[in-house]
Amino acid sequence: PHLSVEENLYLGAYSRSDRDEIAADLEWVYSLFPRLRERSWQKGGTLSGGEQQMLAVGRALMSRPDLLMLDEPSLGLAPLLVREIFEIIRRINAEGKTVLLVEQNAFAALSVAHYAYILEVGRVVLEGSGRELLENPKVKEAYLGG
């Protein structure tokens, strides 16, 4: 929380030594999260909840992971920010990153999922493509309010 946004992002690339590619990845993260560029000098701990979530994802991306694991990225965020975060998740995946997402917002998660599992009390009760599960009557009734 005491490091600037940019210092936080560089921290994500700590184990890397490819300076030119680190700079390119920093620009990519800033293209995903323009607010982070605007606040690059600001201390991470002073950002809003949504901005801190963006910073955490950006920092993780700076390490160039093969798999990005996200646990409840929409937790506590305003609906507008939830839409923005899920659009960014979709974009990250479209740019070649595998994303494993754990999320209680069923509609948002299934809207971006290629494949999904629905758990109840720790057991898989349904699985299939995100689209199939969005159309499933049991899912609609139990999780989507339909």
Residue with tokens 């998740």: 89
**β-strand partners of 144:** none
Predicted pLDDT of residue 7: 98
DSSP conformation letters of 67-79: EEEEE-TTTT--H
Predicted pLDDT of residue 143: 82
Predicted pLDDT of residue 67: 96
Regions of the chain with pLDDT less than 50: none
Output the pTM of the full model.
0.87
Predicted pLDDT of residue 141: 87
pLDDT tens by residue, 35-48: 999 999 999 999 99
Element (H, E) at 87: helix 79-94
Predicted pLDDT of residue 146: 64
